[in-house]
């Protein structure tokens, strides 16, 4: 207090004593959280943690840039609205919000951000403090993906149950019809009535077509049953050939108009796995191969299996463009995708590798002799 007894004048925001500003700067510099100060979206300051997070070498190359440069295009409109709302609001604190950021190496990061208005050098500015929640977001996405797969499995089991009973009595009636036609044909085999004989022959043809169609439905129901056994996570000997063939049939709607599938499978190979989960892996790999560029022209997918020492090795390969060398090392990273925005979460291959790893196996990427990508599964063989 001054000697005349008067209190010192209050300090205006932005005119704090120099020692206070230096102490605040030291706090920001040492925080593990990501700190940015901007004015109208133009960066004034970023702490070392933020620069490391974004892959920026020096503050000098960061200051003066727009915060929009580091935010996903789909999130920019929301961030712009947030800045406008904060600048025009009497409230100085904004609520917590999540944004996606692009790292310098192309990786996607998620941050939770809170911001506060302040006065700096006599003018309004915004202080934003963020926390990297990429790992947590990945866990949440995987949990949701697992829930979705479980729901699909439950639905497939329910469909199989509901379809099995009608198939049973349709098959019974179809067999009875076939036997009755054969009996009538035998009775009128002497061509007592040529028209009747011709009619019975046509009915026999219809019955054969019915039998083929019903058997296809029954096969699909069995395939759904194979891929729906998700609740029981116990590993057991699994017939790899059967699981691959079931996955191909389930994916037929996606495959038939895009590509030809060649299966070169050694029969009677069993691996230590979970049939439902393994089926999901093959489904994902088949659909990815079918959707790999180029999209024009008929494509080829080849699935081969063989026994190599103590492992069953399955290759799923295509004749697409393949995976560029500069991104091949990241292809199994969560949220990394080469598909256009909105057409892929980047979780499929990461989850596939996790599933195969839980079997004690491996999933790796190699170039394909067909010209595209080859994904190789190595599974522990069972006697």
Residue 305 confidence class, pLDDT cut points 50, 70, 90: very high
* The two three-digit tokens of residue 74, written as one number: 């789909």
Q: Span 176-198, mean pLDDT?
A: 68
What pLDDT score was predicted for residue 17? 43
232-383 to CATH, choices 3.10.150.10, 1.10.530.10, 3.30.230.10, 3.30.565.10:
3.30.565.10
Average model confidence (pLDDT) for the chain? Answer: 75
What pLDDT score was predicted for residue 188? 65
* Residue carrying structure tokens 């620069």: 51
DSSP 152: H
Per-residue pLDDT of 335-380, as tens digits, reads 556 554 444 444 568 778 888 888 888 999 898 888 888 999 999 9
What pLDDT score was predicted for residue 11? 45
What pLDDT score was predicted for residue 314? 95
What pLDDT score was predicted for residue 32? 86
Residue 38: beta bridge partners? 43, 126
Counting residues of the chain whose pLDDT is more than 90, the rounded percentage is 9
What pLDDT score was predicted for residue 155? 53
Q: What is the pTM of this model?
A: 0.47
User: Is residue 190 scored above 60 in pLDDT?
Assistant: no
What pLDDT score was predicted for residue 15? 47
Residue 319 confidence class, pLDDT cut points 50, 70, 90: confident
User: Is residue 313 scored above 90 in pLDDT?
Assistant: yes
| Backbone phi and psi for residue 19, each to the nearest 5 degrees, phi listed first | -60, -40
Q: Span 191-219, mean pLDDT?
A: 69
18-132 CATH fold = Beta-Lactamase (3.30.450)
> From residue 103, how far is each of 51, 52, 69 by CA, in Å?
10, 10, 11
What pLDDT score was predicted for residue 251? 78
What pLDDT score was predicted for residue 239? 93
The answer to whether 112 and 125 are in contact (CB under 8 A) is no
- Which element (helix H / strand E) includes 27? helix 18-30
What pLDDT score was predicted for residue 174? 73
Least confident of 16-20, 165-169, 314-318: 16-20
Least confident of 16-30, 201-215, 273-287: 16-30
Higher pLDDT, 358 or 188: 358
Q: Span 178-194, mean pLDDT?
A: 68
The answer to whether 249 and 241 are in contact (CB under 8 A) is no
Domain boundaries, the chain: 18-132, 135-231, 232-383
Q: Span 268-280, mean pLDDT?
A: 86
- Helices assigned H by DSSP within 228-347: 240-250, 252-255, 275-291, 325-328
Q: Span 26-52, mean pLDDT?
A: 86
Q: Span 245-262, mean pLDDT?
A: 82
Question: What angle separates helix 275-291 from helix 348-358, to the nearest 10 degrees?
Answer: 150
What pLDDT score was predicted for residue 381? 92
Q: Which of 46-55, 135-144, 223-232 reaches the highest mean pLDDT?
A: 46-55
Strands 270-273 and 236-239: antiparallel
Helices first, then strands: H and E counts in the chain: 10, 12
User: Is residue 13 scored above 50 in pLDDT?
Assistant: no
Residue 263 confidence class, pLDDT cut points 50, 70, 90: very high
Q: Span 204-231, mean pLDDT?
A: 64
């Amino acid at each position: 207090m001054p000697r005349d007894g008067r209190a010192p004048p209050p300090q205006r925001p932005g005119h704090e004593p120099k020692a206070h500003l230096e102490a605040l700067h030291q706090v920001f510099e040492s925080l593990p959280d990501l700190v940015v100060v901007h004015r109208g979206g133009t960066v004034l300051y970023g702490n070392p943690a933020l620069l490391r997070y974004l892959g920026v070498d020096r503050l000098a190359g960061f200051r003066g840039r727009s915060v929009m440069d580091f935010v996903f295009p789909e999130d920019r409109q929301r961030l712009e609205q947030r800045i406008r709302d904060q600048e025009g609001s009497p409230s100085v604190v904004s609520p917590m919000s999540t944004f996606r950021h692009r790292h310098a190496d192309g990786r996607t990061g998620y941050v939770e951000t809170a911001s506060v208005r302040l006065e700096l050098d006599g003018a309004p500015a915004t202080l934003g403090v963020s926390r990297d929640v990429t790992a947590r977001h990945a866990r949440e996405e995987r949990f949701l993906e697992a829930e979705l797969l479980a729901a699909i499995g439950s639905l497939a089991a329910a469909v199989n149950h509901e379809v099995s009973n009608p198939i049973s009595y349709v098959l019974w009636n179809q067999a009875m019809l076939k036997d009755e036609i054969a009996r009538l044909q035998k009775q009128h085999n002497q061509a007592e009535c040529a028209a009747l004989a011709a009619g019975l022959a046509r009915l026999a043809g219809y019955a054969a077509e019915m039998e083929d169609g019903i058997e296809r439905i029954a096969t699909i129901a069995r395939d759904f049953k194979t891929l729906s056994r998700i609740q029981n996570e116990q590993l057991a000997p699994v017939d790899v050939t059967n699981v691959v063939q079931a996955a191909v049939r389930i994916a037929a709607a996606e495959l038939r108009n895009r590509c030809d599938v060649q299966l070169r499978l050694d029969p009677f190979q069993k691996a230590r796995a979970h049939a439902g989960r393994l089926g999901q892996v093959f489904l994902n790999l088949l659909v990815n191969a079918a959707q790999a560029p180029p999209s024009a022209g008929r494509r080829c997918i080849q699935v081969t299996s063989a026994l190599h020492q103590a492992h069953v090795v399955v290759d799923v390969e295509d004749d697409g463009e393949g995976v560029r060398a500069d991104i091949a090392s990241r292809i199994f990273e969560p949220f990394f995708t080469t598909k256009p925005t909105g057409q892929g979460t980047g979780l499929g291959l990461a989850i596939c590798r996790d599933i195969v790893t839980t079997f004690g196996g491996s999933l790796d990427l190699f170039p394909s002799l067909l010209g595209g990508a080859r994904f190789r599964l190595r599974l522990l063989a069972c006697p």
